[in-house]
Amino acid sequence: MLKTIITRSVAVSMLMLIIAATGIYSTLEFPIELTPDVELPKVTVQTAWPNASPEMVEVFITSSIEGTCAALPGVRKVTSVSSAGQSQVTVEFAPDTRVDFATLQLSEQLGLVKEQLPHNAGLPRIEKYVPEEFRQEAFLSYQLSDPYSLYEVRRAALSHLQTPLLSVPGIADVQVRGGQKAEIHILLHRDVMQTMGISIAQVHAALAQLNLHTQAGSLPRGDRRLDLIVLNPLTTIAELKKLQFPVRETIVHLQDFAEIRRSFENVQHLVRIDGNPTVSLTILREPGQNAIKVADDVFARLHELVAGLLPGMKLLKSQDESERIRRDMRALGSRSLFCLLIILLVLFIFFHNYRLPLLVMATVFFRCCSP
């Protein structure tokens, strides 16, 4: 065997080069992260209810979610924390539970519970539990400021930045915080409603029907079936004003007993840079993705998007996880090169020959590069 390897040095060299090239390629494609991707049998359910007291959150949100979580199979423990405007329910499963499947079941059950939550409460959000030791800051964070209104800066962040960034491979979510959302305010005149015999419950039910999705049947297409859905979205305030209510064999419209106008939500979080309103963009990366590669793709996409922003808008980077990784990789490379030179020097002093140290280091190199 050894004689065959010696006599066919070219073939052996080519094989070693292929092994080395494969190992180098695998190393470059290997995901680079600051912390390991750990999946524990525990999830948290976060639900926001702005301006609500801890007691109200406990009664109307936390208790309902706790009961739903406790009824799931494989649940070992359910704990909760109710604070002002926020509910957090932690669900711990048995060690042998498949977390992905259990999360899917929990999501389906929470879809039924959300109908019982207060109308201005946020949707329950399921998050994987991350130990304190592995928690880290956002992957990428930016601040978008402009001399316009809070509504305009938020709309620019949503339309010009959030949607395009979600298409970047490796990006899990892009969260926009701050600014103002547009709202439609309906001011009901109680005395007129009492005269007409219309209750607030009737108005609420009629408004809920505006965005109702109704199944109208299905169409066969070979071995597939296409479901037909009738959408009834609200498009303009004029349509809302013409919303009909039957009253004593007559029809009245919403505008007859209510004032309808465009407005904005109350500001909960206000940040300014150089006197200009600012919103924050938090970019979250999918677990297992190469942080440096994803960051470079995001930077390239943002370079294209910034050119399309309105005049005066500024996008400032406030957090970059990839910078720390690049710094650690450079430090690791310099230390590895220093150790390599020290080892070569020691081997040269020991053998008094440069060929044997190079042969030893080549053997170590090919062994490390083997996939």
Whether residues 26 and 54 share a domain: the answer is no
Whether residues 91 and 115 share a domain: the answer is yes
Domain that holds residue 240: 183-264
β-sheet bridge partners, residue 320: 140
Whether residues 26 and 87 share a domain: the answer is no
Whether residues 43 and 16 share a domain: the answer is no
CA 278, chain centre distance (Å): 20
Whether residues 65 and 103 share a domain: the answer is yes
The reply to whether 155 falls in a domain is: no
pLDDT tens-place string over residues 94-145? 888 888 888 888 888 888 887 788 877 888 888 877 666 555 567 889 988 8
The reply to whether 43 falls in a domain is: yes
Q: What's the pLDDT at 15?
A: 72
Phi-psi region of 120 (alpha: psi -120 to 50; beta: other; left: phi over 0): alpha
The reply to whether 269 falls in a domain is: no
Looking at every residue in the chain, the average pLDDT score rounds to: 79
User: Among residues 240, 264, 288, which one ends one of the domains?
Assistant: 264
Q: What's the pLDDT at 231?
A: 55
Q: Which of 109-118, 163-172, 206-215 has the lowest mean pLDDT?
A: 206-215
CATH no. for residue 251?
Answer: 3.30.2090.10
User: Among residues 129, 145, 161, which one ends one of the domains?
Assistant: 129
Whether residues 191 and 258 share a domain: the answer is yes
- Count of residues making up the chain: 371
pLDDT score of 365 more than 60? yes
Whether residues 71 and 125 share a domain: the answer is yes
User: CA 231, CA 246: separation in Å to the nearest integer?
Assistant: 23
Whether residues 24 and 62 share a domain: the answer is no
Beta strands in the chain (DSSP E): 42-48, 75-83, 86-93, 125-128, 140-145, 171-177, 182-188, 213-221, 224-231, 244-247, 250-253, 258-264, 271-273, 276-285, 314-320
Which pLDDT band, with edges at 50, 70 and 90, does 311 fall under? confident
- pTM for the whole structure: 0.60
- Please name which of 192, 195, 216, 193 lies closest in space to residue 204, comparing C-alpha atoms: 193
Which pLDDT band, with edges at 50, 70 and 90, does 23 fall under? low
Q: Give the chain's count of helices (H) and strands (E).
A: 13, 15
Whether residues 44 and 121 share a domain: the answer is yes
Whether residues 83 and 16 share a domain: the answer is no
The reply to whether 64 falls in a domain is: yes
Contact 32, 290 (CB under 8 A): yes
The reply to whether 305 falls in a domain is: no
Q: Which of 52-56, 67-71, 247-251 has the lowest mean pLDDT?
A: 247-251
Q: What's the pLDDT at 174?
A: 87
Whether residues 45 and 124 share a domain: the answer is yes
Whether residues 43 and 125 share a domain: the answer is yes
The reply to whether 307 falls in a domain is: no
CATH no. for residue 43?
Answer: 3.30.70.1430
The reply to whether 18 falls in a domain is: yes
SS3 for 103-140 is: HHHHHHHHHHHHHHCCCCCCCCEEEECCCHHHCCCCCE
User: Among residues 234, 264, 294, which one ends one of the domains?
Assistant: 264
For the chain, the domain total comes to 3
The reply to whether 141 falls in a domain is: no
What is the sign, positive or negative, of the torsion defined by CA atoms of 281, 286, 292, 293? negative
Residues in contact with 91: Cβ distance below 8 Å, sequence separation at least 6, in sequence order = 42, 43, 44, 45, 69, 72, 75, 77, 78, 106
Question: What tokens does 111 get?
Answer: 């879809």
Q: What's the pLDDT at 267?
A: 72
